Homo-oligomer: A and B are copies of this chain.
Amino acid sequence: MLTVKRISKDEADLMIAAAEDKSSELGIPMCIAVTDESGNLIAFSRMDGGKVSSISIAIDKAFTASAAKNPTEFYNEMCRPGSPTFGIHTSNQGHFSIIGGGLPVVSGIEIVGGIGSSSGTPAQDIEVSHAGLDALLSHWEKTKNKK
């Protein structure tokens, strides 16, 4: 039997709230998704004005980051014509996102979840997802210190 770590719903909510704050700061309403370590959706938010086409992109980014265990921007670099990884973007029924904005959530050496944002440029999407991730890491740091 294996024992696996997974972010909780409360942790997902905390990430989404921080990502929403960053989106508001940037003035770009986003779609933000958080998945568990297996790539399954835990929480999702489409802010007022977030793009309809970004609903599935955000979810796919979070899925990819947690299931493939890398930031989605990593695969963007790897997935260029002539690169041996080119073509990975059509795998997983098109749900494998290679657009920046998907980040794995790492605890120790384990991937315990993923976050994905979409509606801005990839750079903006990455910034928003990072804000969500950083909020969780800060929360863990604070909780640890309390113990």
A interface list, Cβ under 8 A from B? 1-9, 11, 36, 38-48, 51-57, 60, 63-64, 66-69, 73, 75-76, 79-82, 84-94, 96-100, 107, 112, 121-123
Would you mind naming 27 contact pairs between A and B with Cβ atoms under 8 Å apart? Answer: A1-B7, A1-B11, A3-B5, A3-B6, A9-B48, A38-B52, A44-B44, A51-B68, A52-B68, A53-B64, A53-B91, A54-B68, A56-B92, A60-B91, A75-B87, A76-B86, A79-B81, A84-B121, A85-B99, A85-B121, A85-B122, A87-B99, A89-B90, A90-B90, A91-B97, A93-B94, A94-B94
- For the residues of A in contact with B, the DSSP-based class is mixed
Instruction: Compute how far the CA of A2 lies from the CA of B47 in the bound complex, rounded to whole angstroms.
Output: 12
- Beyond contacts A39-B40, A86-B98: 13 other A-B pairs, Cβ-Cβ < 8 A, are A2-B6, A2-B8, A3-B3, A9-B46, A41-B44, A41-B46, A43-B46, A53-B64, A56-B92, A56-B93, A84-B122, A87-B99, A88-B99
Residues of B with C-beta under 8 A to A4: 3-6
Q: How far is the CA of A50 from the CA of B99 in the complex (A)?
A: 23
Question: Distance in Å from the Cβ of A56 to the closest Cβ of chain B?
Answer: 5
Contacts of A66 in B (CB 8 A): 52
Verify B80–A99 contact, CB threshold 8 A.
no
